[in-house]
Structures are given as structure tokens and as C-alpha cells.
């Protein structure tokens, strides 16, 4: 019975690559799977797919119309998954996030490790199962690890992520430092994007203290370039909050060159955000030096403050 493998909505490079990698591994082990995606690849992922001449995955809106069972990678929370997740069986999860808002009716294979990237977890599964990583897939997987760890600058980075990139770079035959910076810069091409696209591309939803919280992250090499568009960004966020019922929207604008984030906060409760990061919000904004990771440096303190 065929199964679909996919990462979260608004896919990043890891969500797309981890699905391809885990699908390949499962098929090598005898399963019948197809890697798909819950959205179009972002600019960074497009750069990666072009570089390694890999096609973009097919995009699905629902799963039940094609399969009875699915495998999740790079996420587990229901609101980040396919819309009809409750109507299909989840047989496998491979992830590196907190576990929340997730339950199944049947037993499953669930493999989570607190590493910097889901593709690192999957690389370990290749080794464990003695399956060789093909050169092209190695290139994709090292790209995902560089993306999630911001070339090892994110505090989510572990020694295992660095080691995996070094080993995968040998298989793929790429200079990962040069390639990695080019790849990250390709993802910061913001001028061509609308405000709507900027606040959607890497956004994730969370439930905290009974509130619908939306957190988006935009990577840049120049904070001023993004904040020159602040008024239009606020308008776009207010519109999304209204249309989708978000109580609170946090826009993380992260400078990948010096690993700092400036936060724009739209919605309520503002004071909870101030408390979470021990900052004063000035004109709905705060600078968070050294903060680059939503998962490790933004979600946990915010959750705690709620």
C-alpha cells in the first residue's frame, strides 16, 4: 500500500529534503512511498534543487483522496500538517521538534532526536540500516542541515549535524562552506517578494495559553532593507491576523551574517512577549541579540511566559 511522505506546511529546505531522503530510505527498505510537499519550495530551496538538478516535489492539499497512510518528517503538530491529517493513519514520524498537539489511534514508528536538522536524524537512519546515500541526495541533505543550522551558527546545532555535513560533503563532492553561504544568501532575496509572501513563506502556527500564535521568520543580510517596508508588513500582518484568527503574530527578522533578530509583534498580548524575552517593546519591536532559532530561542520562552 503506497504511502505519502511529507514535511510541514510552508516548507523550508529541510521539510522538502527530509521527505525525499526518508522516502528514498523507506523504498530501499521495501516500502512504496512518494515524497510530496505541502507547499511550493522557497527561494533557498529552489536554489538547492536547481544546483543538484533535482525536481521539486509534487504538492498536495489533502492526503486521504490518494492514500490511507502517511509518514511525517520535520514536524508533528497537527496544525502544521496536511489539512486532513486526522483522517489518515500516521505510520512513521521522524522529527527534531517538540511534540505537541499530536496523537494517533494506532501504534507507530516515532523517531525524534533533539538535533539541528531532521535530515541529520535521517542520515543516522541510513547508517543504522546500512543504506548508502547517493551523491545527489547527499548534496540535498547537507543543504538542509546548513539551512536549519544557519551554517552551524544556530544554537540548535549539534556536533552530529556538523559531522553529518562533513561526511555528506565528501559523498556529494562539494565545498560546503562556500556552497552553504551562497545557498543561504539565495534565500535572502527579499526584494522580489510581496509583504504577503514575506510573512507567509516560513510561518508556523502554535497554540499557547489558548491563543493562536503565528511565528514567521525572514532571513536577511540587511535588517534595514526589511524594516524599510515595516508599515506595509504591519498592514499585511493585521490582515492575516483578522482573516485567520491569529491573536498574536511575531515576525522574526534574522540577520544571518551576525546572528541577531529584530522582532515585530502585532496583536495581543504584547506584555507576554515582553516578559518572555525580558525586553521592552518599543513601537511593537525589540532587538534580540544572538537569537536565530524559533524552535529553541523563541517558542520555549514564549510558551513559558504564556
Q: Give the nearer residue to Mn ion in terms of CB position, either 3 or 148.
A: 148
**Closest chain position to Mn ion (CB):** 14
Q: Give the nearer residue to Mn ion in terms of CB position, either 118 or 292.
A: 118
| Part in contact with Mn ion (CB under 5 A); list of ranges 10-18, 39-47, 178-186, 202-210 | 10-18
**Which string of b and e fits 58-68 if b means at least 16 CB within 10 Å?**
eebeebeeebe
- Give SS3 for 93: strand
Q: Give the nearer residue to Mn ion in terms of CB position, either 125 or 279.
A: 125
118 binds Mn ion (CB under 5 A): yes
Binding mask 17-56 toward Mn ion (x if CB under 5 A, else -) reads ----------------------------------------
Are residues 213 and 302 in contact, defined by beta-carbon separation less than 8 angstroms?
A: yes
Which strand (E) or helix (H) includes residue 186?
helix 176-186
CB burial of residue 247 (10 Å; 0-12, 13-18, 19+)? middle
CB burial of residue 184 (10 Å; 0-12, 13-18, 19+)? buried
146 binds Mn ion (CB under 5 A): no
Q: Give the nearer residue to Mn ion in terms of CB position, either 33 or 293.
A: 293
Sign of CA dihedral 72, 74, 76, 82: negative
Residue 28: CB atoms within 10 Å: 13
The distance of closest approach from Cβ of residue 274 to Mn ion in the complex, given in angstroms and rounded to an integer, is 27
Rounded Cα distance between 269 and 274, Å, is 9
Rounded Cα distance between 151 and 257, Å, is 10
Q: Give the nearer residue to Mn ion in terms of CB position, either 204 or 267.
A: 204
The distance of closest approach from Cβ of residue 179 to Mn ion in the complex, given in angstroms and rounded to an integer, is 19
The distance of closest approach from Cβ of residue 204 to Mn ion in the complex, given in angstroms and rounded to an integer, is 8
Which of 148, 161, 195, 202 touches Mn ion (CB under 5 A)? 148
Looking up cell 533557498, which residue turns up? 44
Rounded Cα distance between 124 and 132, Å, is 11
Q: Give the nearer residue to Mn ion in terms of CB position, either 148 or 161.
A: 148
| Part in contact with Mn ion (CB under 5 A); list of ranges 11-19, 22-30, 126-134, 153-161 | 11-19
Q: Give the nearer residue to Mn ion in terms of CB position, either 119 or 241.
A: 119
The grid cell for 261 is 533578530
74 binds Mn ion (CB under 5 A): yes
256 binds Mn ion (CB under 5 A): no
CA distances from 162 to 79, 120, 157, 177 (A): 31, 9, 8, 11
Q: Give the nearer residue to Mn ion in terms of CB position, either 33 or 147.
A: 147
14 binds Mn ion (CB under 5 A): yes
Q: Give the nearer residue to Mn ion in terms of CB position, either 74 or 216.
A: 74
Rounded Cα distance between 150 and 293, Å, is 9
Which of 3, 12, 95, 161 touches Mn ion (CB under 5 A)? 12
| Part in contact with Mn ion (CB under 5 A); list of ranges 54-62, 79-87, 118-126, 155-163 | 118-126
Are residues 187 and 43 in contact, defined by beta-carbon separation less than 8 angstroms?
A: yes
Which of 5, 15, 38, 253 touches Mn ion (CB under 5 A)? 15
How many chain residues are in contact with Mn ion, going by CB under 5 A? Answer: 6
**Which positions touch Mn ion (CB under 5 A)?**
12, 14-15, 74, 118, 148
Amino acid at each position: 500500500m503506497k504511502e505519502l511522505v511529507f514535511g510541514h506546511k510552508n516548507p523550508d529546505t529541510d521539510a522538502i529534503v527530509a521527505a525525499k531522503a526518508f522516502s528514498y530510505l523507506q523504498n530501499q527498505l521495501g516500502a512504496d512511498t512518494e515524497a510530496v510537499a505541502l507547499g511550493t519550495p522557497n527561494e533557498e530551496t529552489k536554489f538547492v534543487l536547481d544546483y543538484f538538478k533535482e525536481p521539486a516535489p509534487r504538492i498536495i492539499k489533502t492526503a486521504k483522496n490518494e492514500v490511507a497512510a502517511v509518514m511525517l518528517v520535520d514536524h508533528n503538530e497537527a496544525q502544521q500538517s496536511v489539512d486532513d491529517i486526522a483522517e489518515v493513519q500516521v505510520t512513521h514520524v521522524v522529527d527534531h521538534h517538540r511534540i505537541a498537539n499530536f496523537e494517533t489511534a494506532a501504534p507507530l514508528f516515532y523517531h525524534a532526536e533533539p538535533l539541528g536538522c531532521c535530515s541529520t536524524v535521517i542520515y543516522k537512519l541510513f547508517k543504522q540500516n546500512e543504506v548508502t546515500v547517493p551523491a545527489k541526495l547527499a548534496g540535498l541533505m547537507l543543504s538542509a542541515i546548513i539551512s536549519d543550522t544557519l551554517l552551524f551558527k544556530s544554537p540548535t546545532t549539534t556536533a552530529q549535524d556538523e559531522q553529518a555535513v562533513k561526511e555528506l560533503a565528501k559523498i556529494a563532492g562539494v565545498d560546503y562552506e562556500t556552497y552553504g553561504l551562497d545557498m543561504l544568501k539565495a534565500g535572502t532575496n527579499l526584494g522580489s517578494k510581496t509583504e504577503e509572501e514575506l510573512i507567509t513563506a516560513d510561518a508556523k502556527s502554535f497554540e499557547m495559553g489558548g491563543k493562536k500564535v503565528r511565528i514567521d521568520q525572514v532571513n536577511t543580510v540587511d535588517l534595514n532593507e526589511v524594516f524599510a517596508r515595516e508599515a506595509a508588513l504591519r498592514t499585511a500582518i493585521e490582515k492575516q491576523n483578522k482573516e485567520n484568527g491569529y491573536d498574536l503574530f511575531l515576525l522574526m527578522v534574522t540577520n544571518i551574517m551576525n546572528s541577531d533578530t529584530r522582532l515585530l509583534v502585532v496583536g495581543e498580548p504584547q506584555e507576554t512577549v515582553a516578559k518572555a524575552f525580558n525586553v521592552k517593546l518599543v513601537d511593537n519591536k525589540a532587538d534580540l541579540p544572538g537569537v536565530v532559532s524559533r524552535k529553541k530561542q523563541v517558542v520555549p520562552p514564549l510558551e513559558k511566559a504564556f
